[in-house]
Amino acid sequence: MSQAIIEVQGVNKQVQDASGQLTILHDISFTLAARESVAIVGASGSGKSTLLALLAGLDRPSSGTVRLAGQDLFVLDEDQRAALRARHVGFVFQSFQLLANLTALENVMLPLELRGDRDARAQATQMLQRVGLGQRLSHYPRVLSGGEQQRVALARAFVLRPDVLLADEPTGSLDFATGQAVMELMFELNREAGTTLVLVTHDAAIAARCQRQLRIDAGRLVAISTSSPESIAAHAA
């Protein structure tokens, strides 16, 4: 088996609300291998997005350990976690999270420039061409369709060739046909890059395209299932 890229051990998350302490995640443990594709599934409010935020170190658990590329995230301070994310993690969100005052090209160039790449423009241009937006480089998000904005977001995520891609309901704000096209592109890019994909989704067909599914119910990891190669191929067809 490939070396673990993400290790989660005994993670709990509680918050205080008006009625007292609320448990969002309870004793979550699992390991993800490099290059593995995993869907986190479950009902709304089950804790899926909270778990994704913990995997990225964007939120802190109440107890337990999350290791990314062998590093315990929560022995690091906020700046150190941000630096670790920049080296290893890409993100795709339901709401795209593009910067409205930057063009498509500038949005994709930004993480490369922050990393100090001197050929950011060439890399970003090539990636936008790869996702079919070579003619939209100078367009701002407001004049792009939802599907085009999500393709810009995919280009921005994959241009850094991250070890891990975290995707939170990436087709949730798109119509069915556009969402299917975006997901096909995401899986293509993921195969090309050899990235570990962690995908939160309500869509059973999308989940079945991943090698494993982690089912969360009321904050508990209740099942880990493995997709057969035949199932993955059938749902990709």
pLDDT, one tens digit per residue, over 83-122 is: 999 889 999 988 889 999 999 999 999 999 988 999 999 9
CATH number, position 83? 3.40.50.300
Buried/exposed 135-162: b ≥16 CB within 10 Å, e otherwise: ebbebbbeebebbbbbbbbbbbbbbbeb
Give the total number of structural domains in the chain.
1
- Mean pLDDT score, 167-186: 91
Between residues 229 and 215, which one has the greater pLDDT?
215
User: Rounded CA gap, 177 and 191, in Å?
Assistant: 22
Which are the contacts of 113, defined by CB distance < 8 A and separation ≥ 6? Answer: 120
Number of alpha helices (DSSP H) and beta strands (DSSP E) in the chain: 8, 10
- Mean pLDDT score, 133-153: 96
- pTM assigned to the model: 0.89
Q: State the residue range of the domain holding 17.
A: 4-236
